[in-house]
Amino acid sequence: MADRKYQRPDFEYLKTAKFRLFVGQKNNVNFVPEFYIDFMAKIKKIGVLTSGGDSPGMNAAIRGVTRTAIYNGLEVIGIRHGYQGMIDANFSPLYSHSVSDIIQRGGTILKTARCEEFRTPEGRQKAYNNLKEAQIDGVVVIGGDGSFTGARLFNEEFDIPFVGIPGTIDNDIYGTDYTIGYDTALNTVVEAIDKIRDTASAHNRMFFVEVMGAEAGFIALYSGIATGAEAIIIPELKGEERNLKAMIETGNSRKKSSNIIIVAEGDEGGGAFAIAEKLKDDFREYDIRVSVLGHLQRGGSPSAMDRVNASRLGHAAVEALIDDQKSVMVGISNGEITLVPFRKAVKLHKDVNHNLVDLAKILSV
Ligand code: F6P
C-alpha cells in the first residue's frame, strides 16, 4: 500500500464467526459485501481547498487528493478561494477528469486566499454549517502555517476532521523536511541569480538580491549555496550584516571582482534596499545594484520533485482522513510520510541547518 503509515481497521476480522453472516465467497476468495464496507466508512465525502500564498505543486496535490479519494470510493468537493469558499459555500464536485492535465501547472485551480473571516468564531461557525449542509465529512487543507492555525481552531470547535498538506514556497513548517513549491521556487531563484551573476561579473558589480521566504531563510540559504553567493543574510543569523565588510574584503584579497549578496526578505536588516543603503559607504569601490526577485518566485511549472512529493502528500492526506485522523498535517521526514499535529506544526519553529550556514561561509572565501 503506497505510503500507508497508519493501518486502517483490517476487514479480516469480519471473517470471524461473529461476522460470518456478512462474508461470502466469490471465485473461491472471501469477500466483504460492499454495502457493509459503506456502512462502516465514516468518511464518504471530502472537501479540498488551497489557502494562503499559492505554490507550484498545489495542483499536483489537489490531483493526488482527488484521485486517491475516488480510488477509495469517496466523493470529492472542491472548495474555491480557500476558507472564504467554505464560508460562502463555494463548492463544486471534483471528478477524476476535473484534475486531468493539471499536474504540470503552477498556481491552483481551486484559487486561494488569506481569509480574515475564518479567524473569527462566527466565520468558522458559518463554514461548519455549510460543510454540514453539503454533507462533507472531512477536509484536506493545502497551505502554510496560517492556514493550519485556522484548521486547528476549527478542529477544536467542531467535529469535521481537517488534515493539512504543507504548501508554501517558504519551507518554514515544523515537522516536515519539505513543503510543496519550495523546490520549484528554489530552482527559479537559482536560475535568476545565475543570470544576475553574468552581469555582476561582466561589470565588476556588487548585487544585493532579495529573495522571498517570509520570516525564514531557507530559500536564501539554499540558493546562496547553489549559486556560490559571496554572502547570505538570513533572519536565523543575527548581526550578519556587520560581518559583511570583512567577508567581502577577504574575497577581494583573493581577486574577486564581483559579489552576490543574497538577502532573505524577512531579515532584521529590512530588506536588500535598506541593507545596500547602509553598506554603500563601506563599498565605495563597487557599483552597487539591488534586485528584488519578487513574485516570479511563486509561479511556474512545478519541478519533478514537487510533483512527486505533492502526489505522495495528497494521497497520504486522504489515507489519514480514512484512518480517522484529525487536526494533523501530513509531512515528509527523511523520505517517509509522517503525521504531525497542527499544534506542533504551527507552534514550533523550524530552524535552518546551521551546518549548511557554515558550509556556505567556508565555500565562499
Ligand atoms: O508565503 C509565501 C510568500 O510568497 C512569502 O515568501 C512572502 O513573504 C509572501 O508570501 C508574499 O505574500 P503576497 O503574495 O501576499 O504579497
Residue-wise pLDDT for 51-99, tens only, equals 999 999 999 999 999 999 999 999 999 999 999 999 999 999 999 999 9
Residue-wise pLDDT for 120-174, tens only, equals 999 999 999 999 999 999 999 999 999 999 999 999 999 999 999 999 999 999 9
First to last CA, the chain: 49
Cβ of 169 closer than 6 Å to ligand 1, yes or no, is yes
Q: Quick one: pLDDT band at residue 20, thresholds 50, 70, 90?
A: very low
- pLDDT at 33 > cutoff 90: no
Degrees to nearest 5, angle at CA 62 with 217 and 328: 65
| Helical pair 304-322 and 58-71, crossing angle rounded to 10 deg | 40
Domain ranges of the chain: 42-180+302-347, 182-299
Give pLDDT, residue 38. 56
Tell whether domain 42-180+302-347 is in CATH 3.40.50.450. yes
The mean pLDDT value for 298-321 works out to 98
SS3 assignment, position 290: strand
Cβ of 179 closer than 6 Å to ligand 1, yes or no, is no
- What b/e sequence results for 119-154 when a residue is b if at least 16 CB atoms lie within 10 Å of its CB, and e otherwise? eeeebbebbbebbeeeebbbbbbbbbbbbbbbbbbb
Longest dimension (CA), the chain: 88
Alpha carbon of 279 to ligand 1 centroid (Å): 26
Cβ of 166 closer than 6 Å to ligand 1, yes or no, is no
Residue-wise pLDDT for 245-297, tens only, equals 888 877 777 778 889 999 999 999 999 999 999 989 988 888 999 999 999 99
- pLDDT at 348 > cutoff 90: yes
Give pLDDT, residue 3. 62
Q: Quick one: pLDDT band at residue 226, thresholds 50, 70, 90?
A: very high
Place of cell 561582466: 202
Give pLDDT, residue 255. 77
Give pLDDT, residue 247. 81
- pLDDT at 19 > cutoff 50: no
Place of cell 460562502: 88
Q: Are 134 and 311 a contacting pair, CB within 8 Å? A: no
**Residues forming the active site:** 170
Beta bridge partners of 163: 140, 328
Give, using CA atoms, the residue closest to atom 10 of ligand 1. 53
Burial zone of 117 (CB within 10 Å; 0-12 exposed, 13-18 middle, 19+ buried): middle
Atom of ligand 1 nearest to the CA of 298: 4
- pLDDT at 217 > cutoff 60: yes
Atom of ligand 1 nearest to the CA of 265: 8
Alpha carbon of 131 to ligand 1 centroid (Å): 28
- pLDDT at 36 > cutoff 90: no
Cβ of 53 closer than 6 Å to ligand 1, yes or no, is yes
Model-level pTM? 0.90
Give pLDDT, residue 27. 59
Give, using CA atoms, the residue closest to atom 14 of ligand 1. 53
SS3 assignment, position 329: strand
CA distance 224 to 32: 56
Quick one: fold of 182-299? Answer: Rossmann fold (3.40.50)
Candidate from 169, 211, 292 with most ligand 1 atoms within 8 A of CB, to mutate: 169
The mean pLDDT value for 111-118 works out to 97
Lowest-pLDDT range of 37-46, 148-157, 169-178, 232-241: 37-46
Give pLDDT, residue 310. 98
CA distance 179 to 122: 30
Give pLDDT, residue 18. 47
User: What residues contact 249, with CB distance under 8 A and at least 6 apart?
Assistant: none
User: What residues contact 126, with CB distance under 8 A and at least 6 apart?
Assistant: 86, 87, 117
Cβ of 213 closer than 6 Å to ligand 1, yes or no, is yes
**What percentage of the chain has pLDDT greater than the value 70?**
89
Per CATH, 42-180+302-347 and 182-299 having the same topology is answered yes
User: What residues contact 154, with CB distance under 8 A and at least 6 apart?
Assistant: 118, 124, 127, 128, 160, 162
Cβ of 212 closer than 6 Å to ligand 1, yes or no, is yes
